[in-house]
Amino acid sequence: MKFTAIDFETANADRSSACAVGLVMIENGEVVARFSQLIRPNPLVFDPFNVSIHGISAADVADAPTFAELWPDLWPRVIGPLVAHNAAFDMSVLRRTLDQGNLQYPETDYFCTRVISKLAWPEYPTYALDHIARAIGITFAHHDAEEDARACALVAIAACKQLNVPTLYDLQEGCGLRVGRLFAEGYSTCGGPRSTHTKRRKHEELHAATITPSGSPPIDEQHPFYGLAFVFTGTMTSMPRRDAMQAVVDHGGVCHDTVKNDTDFLVVGQVGFVGYEAEFKSSKIKKAYDMRSKGASIEIISEADFIAMI
């Protein structure tokens, strides 16, 4: 088994604002090399919300290279396909930073360990990297790019063992995994098999309540929100809840006010998620747990994880 786990941290909501990258190279199921580097985004603008998550500031990257300056040294280190946790975020950061630097996309496959974790451990209520790592006995410093990449790599290895496959590529036939790919003309996403209710809903509902799509069709069917249902609970720190719901609808998803059997994601505000990690369960979280016990596939995610999916 050979691959390179990758993780980015960003300075603000713009995906081209990469401020740190971590790589962990795997061969024969073992870590053979690690690399990390701070990056100076352009423009040099750091959002307090992002800083509160990873702790990197403008002063920290003042003397760091830009992504375009780093790229000739970064890409030759990569071996095998890329692997990222919540790959939709990291691959979009890679694409946007390459676009900003007028650099061509590399030709590579990629895998998402969030998607793979759902196949390996379908009983878990949430697939945030720190929760998955804790559940399978991996310790790491979360939101450090190199440490996150290492945890992602170890999750990928553990998932293959759990599913009894020798390589990530073997998950295609056995589990219905769709391998993502970057190529010169664009990209295709990594994903798992969609549930029946998801396929039905995307034809029946495009919006909830009074929130309607603000953009012009067509909607990108490869976006992580497309055809999925979201419920929000707790106060959001990064944006008003209405704006979060608008983002879901604009990308082809739907929002509900209450947790239902066909809910895909229950998004917990950042402060509330800290309480959830400490075993406090709000009424919506309790309902999600109850429905999961009856067979519903509802995933509980933090506000930060939701932002990373946009």
Query: What digits encode the pLDDT tens for the residues 273-299?
Result: 878 877 888 889 999 999 988 888 899
Cβ neighbors of 137 (< 8 A, separation 6 or more) are: none
pLDDT at residue 222, rounded to an integer:
80
Categorize the per-residue pLDDT at 34 as very low, low, confident or very high, splitting at 50, 70 and 90.
Answer: very high
Q: What is the pLDDT of residues 108-164, one digit of tens each?
A: 999 999 999 999 999 898 899 999 999 999 999 999 999 999 999 999 999 999 999
From residue 230, give the alpha-carbon distance in Å to each of 106, 239, 254, 262.
33, 16, 6, 9
pLDDT at residue 206, rounded to an integer:
37
**Which of residues 167 and 201 earns the better pLDDT score?**
167
**Which of residues 191 and 151 earns the better pLDDT score?**
151
What are residue 294's phi and psi, to 5 degrees? -105, 10
Q: Which CATH superfamily is domain 196-309 in?
A: BRCT domain (3.40.50.10190)
pLDDT at residue 194, rounded to an integer:
58
Q: Where exactly does CATH 3.30.420.10 map onto the chain?
A: 2-188
Q: Is the pLDDT of residue 191 over 90?
A: no
What are residue 214's phi and psi, to 5 degrees? -90, -15
Percent of the chain with pLDDT over 70: 94
Categorize the per-residue pLDDT at 301 as very low, low, confident or very high, splitting at 50, 70 and 90.
Answer: very high
Q: For 194-203, what is the mean pLDDT?
A: 41
Average pLDDT, the chain: 89
pLDDT at residue 113, rounded to an integer:
97
Q: How far is CA 260 from the centre of its chain?
A: 23
Q: For 261-278, what is the mean pLDDT?
A: 86
Q: Is the pLDDT of residue 173 over 90?
A: no
Q: Which CATH superfamily is domain 2-188 in?
A: Ribonuclease H-like superfamily/Ribonuclease H (3.30.420.10)
Q: Going edge to edge, which strands form the sheet with 82-84?
A: 30-38, 18-27, 2-10, 82-84, 108-112, 180-183, 186-188
Whole-angstrom distance, CA of residue 309 vs CA of residue 195: 19
Q: Is the pLDDT of residue 66 over 90?
A: yes
Q: Where exactly does CATH 3.40.50.10190 map onto the chain?
A: 196-309
Whole-angstrom distance, CA of residue 140 vs CA of residue 134: 9
Other beta carbons within 10 angstroms of residue 5's beta carbon come to 29
Give the single-character DSSP code of 222.
Answer: T
Q: For 26-41, what is the mean pLDDT?
A: 97
pLDDT at residue 155, rounded to an integer:
97
Q: Is the pLDDT of residue 39 over 70?
A: yes
Pairing of strands 265-268, 229-233: parallel
